[in-house]
Amino acid sequence: MTAAVIGLNFGTGYSSIGVVNKKGFADCIANEDGQRQIASALAFNGEEEYVGNQAKPQLVRNYKNTFTGFRNLLGEEFTENIPQPLLSAPVTNINGIPSYSFHAHGKDSSLSVKDVSVKFLQSLAKSAEEYMGKPIDGAVMSVPHSWSQHKRNALSEAAKAANIPLLDLIDDWAAGMSAYNEVLGAADSNVLVVDMGEYSTAVTTVAARQGLFTPLSHLSDASTGGQQLDHALVAHFAKEFTKQTKIAVPTQFSADLSENDRRALVKLSLACEQTKRSLTASNSAGIAIESLKDGADLSSQVNRLRFGILASKTFHAVGALAEKAVKAAELESEHIDKIVLIGGSSSLPSLTNVLAGIFQNAEILSSVDPDQAIAKGAAIQAQLLAARDVPDLPSATTEMTVNVTPHPIVLAGEGDENAVVVAKDTPLPARRIVAINPPHGKDSAVLELYQAKNEIKVVAPPPREKTDDSEDEEDDEPERIPVVVRSNKIASLQVAVKGDAPIILTVVVLDNASVEIKAAQDGQSPVTATVQAP
């Protein structure tokens, strides 16, 4: 009997639920409304209480009793410059705690940000329990990397109040890595995690070494997110509407908007969000709003290319952020091997194109839907924690430091040829086992291990033949190839060779960076060497 564990991605804009299904695979499930992306919203209307996507349409006519953006305020104190949600009920100050005042059940009442979060989390837990048909045994939730311990504690408390047995809180990016554990578990790669959410974007560079993840740098930008893409579409369609009907529609929310204008803007924003989603899957998407303003309808189309142009500023901002993060990790863009996309807005193909242009050596992983990756990854982690292979895994919230290799260790080949055996930033102790084909027709081989440096080799393009058309100027840029360059020798082993069976080389780097080497063909007595660290 497998434990009923779930992963929750409680986002600012949208949330999702990951569960481990009966076959033992993580799956992102739909709630009762059939939504996998559940809007983080709560609304009251008279006697009714709406949670999730049902609450969103309430923004049009009932925005004073509709709450969004409460997750980010968890654990915060009320200050004057607290970010106020533009479309939903304003945050008010009740005893220094950010709260919402509303009118429901025929009377005025108020709920603190924590209470609203608890109500919302309860609905998520209920959906998960209904899916699994039994109570939740454990849950892992994800939080932004930038969250302080205080905010994390506030979320833990909210989860506790919602009767969710919380196993651990992990970073969003770590959940994304966890979702791709099968791909990343076997290899050494430098991974760039791009998390473009509804309200902010975060980029993390991670050294993934056979499933061990050490973050190298982390950058986030609260001014770039799915919202900006919506704004671009809103501006586009507002212009189109004005052109069609000669009725002006505001494109920016401000406090002095008339009720009519506000309603039109909300309608347009909600519709643009849908259109944006459709563009993820199809090449063009329509928008149709009845009675947008003054009884006039809007019906139009936008294709992916047009959207790409409209939103290029936002996508390039994400690209620039990613480049900055890679620089901060003291890497070159060519060193990035894999890109993991998480967060609802990351699934847009335009973003993939921008990233593919910058990180030319990187493979953009796409087997997991970006907007489900966090929830799935959290569910996988929950499964791992529930199984408890190790008696006491430390919680993700405790700071863990570990020794890592400062340089790559390479095996020298003929000439300048090198093969990386132990990559840079590999957590210690580490072991790598490699198989090498012995030199053909010889009875011994020399294995030489070096410390090395990662460098970029700039290769000037071969001189072109002079042709009249000089259109593809950019092809003449020098090619940049990541290489490893030997610096100092560690050890040299002479291995006897019989036949063509591969030589198995085992390199163990101990916690103090001492290196133990063992090499032999299968079945032969191994040649060993040990190099002590200073």
Q: How far is the CB of 381 from another protein (least distance, A)?
A: 6
Cβ nearer to another protein, comparing 310 with 496? 496
Cβ nearer to another protein, comparing 33 with 511? 511
Task: Measure the CA angle with vertex 442, ends 441 and 445; round to 5°.
Answer: 135
Q: Which x/- pattern over 54-93 shows residues binding another protein (rule: CB under 8 A)?
A: ----------------------------------------
Q: How far is the CB of 358 from another protein (least distance, A)?
A: 25
Interface residue with another protein among 6, 124, 207, 233 (CB under 8 A) is 207
Interface residue with another protein among 411, 484, 517, 520 (CB under 8 A) is 411
Judged by CB under 8 A, does residue 404 bind another protein? yes
Interface residue with another protein among 321, 382, 515, 517 (CB under 8 A) is 515
Judged by CB under 8 A, which stretch of 50-58, 192-200, 299-307, 505-513 contacts another protein? 505-513
User: Any bridge partners for residue 491, and if so which?
Assistant: 449
Q: How far apart are CA 236 and CA 246, in angstroms?
A: 15
Q: How far apart are CA 498 and CA 500, in angstroms?
A: 7
- Alpha helices of 246-369 — where are they, by DSSP H? 259-281, 304-310, 312-328, 349-358
Question: Which parts of 131-160 interact with another protein (CB under 8 A)?
Answer: none
Cβ nearer to another protein, comparing 387 with 458? 387
Distance of CA 86 to the CA centre of its chain: 26
- Structural contact between residues 458 and 478, judged by C-beta atoms closer than 8 angstroms: yes
Task: With H, G, I as helix, E, B as strand and everything else as coil, classify residue 27.
Answer: strand
Q: How far is the CB of 325 from another protein (least distance, A)?
A: 15
Helix (H) or strand (E) holding 153: helix 149-161
Cβ nearer to another protein, comparing 375 with 421? 421
Q: Which long-range contacts (CB under 8 A, 24 or more apart) does 154-160 make?
A: 154/74, 154/75, 154/114, 155/10, 155/74, 155/75, 155/117, 157/114, 158/74, 158/114, 158/117, 158/118, 158/121, 159/121
Helix (H) or strand (E) holding 234: helix 226-245
Q: How far is the CB of 169 from another protein (least distance, A)?
A: 11
Q: How far is the CB of 26 from another protein (least distance, A)?
A: 13
Question: Which parts of 307-366 interact with another protein (CB under 8 A)?
Answer: none
Count of C-beta atoms within a 10 Å radius of residue 509: 25
Judged by CB under 8 A, which stretch of 67-75, 273-281, 387-395, 458-466 contacts another protein? 387-395
Cβ nearer to another protein, comparing 170 with 268? 170
Judged by CB under 8 A, which stretch of 95-103, 309-317, 358-366, 407-415 contacts another protein? 407-415
String of b and e for 75-91 (b: at least 16 CB within 10 Å)?
bbebeeeeeebbbbbeb
- Residue whose C-alpha is closest to residue 448's, from 409, 501, 404: 409
Q: How far is the CB of 196 from another protein (least distance, A)?
A: 21
Task: With H, G, I as helix, E, B as strand and everything else as coil, classify residue 139.
Answer: strand
Question: Which parts of 472-491 interact with another protein (CB under 8 A)?
Answer: 488-491
Q: How far is the CB of 27 from another protein (least distance, A)?
A: 18
Question: Which parts of 211-240 interact with another protein (CB under 8 A)?
Answer: 211-216
Q: How far is the CB of 133 from another protein (least distance, A)?
A: 15
Judged by CB under 8 A, does residue 534 bind another protein? yes
String of b and e for 183-214 (b: at least 16 CB within 10 Å)?
bbeeebbbbbbbbbbbbbbbbbbbbbbbebbe
Q: How far is the CB of 528 from another protein (least distance, A)?
A: 12
Q: How far is the CB of 191 from another protein (least distance, A)?
A: 12
Cβ nearer to another protein, comparing 393 with 456? 393
Interface residue with another protein among 35, 92, 146, 181 (CB under 8 A) is 181
- Structural contact between residues 283 and 303, judged by C-beta atoms closer than 8 angstroms: yes
Q: Which x/- pattern over 418-457 shows residues binding another protein (rule: CB under 8 A)?
A: xx-x---x-xxx-xxxxxxxxx--x-xxxxx--x------
Strands (E), 123-211: 138-143, 166-171, 188-196, 201-209
Q: How far is the CB of 473 from another protein (least distance, A)?
A: 36
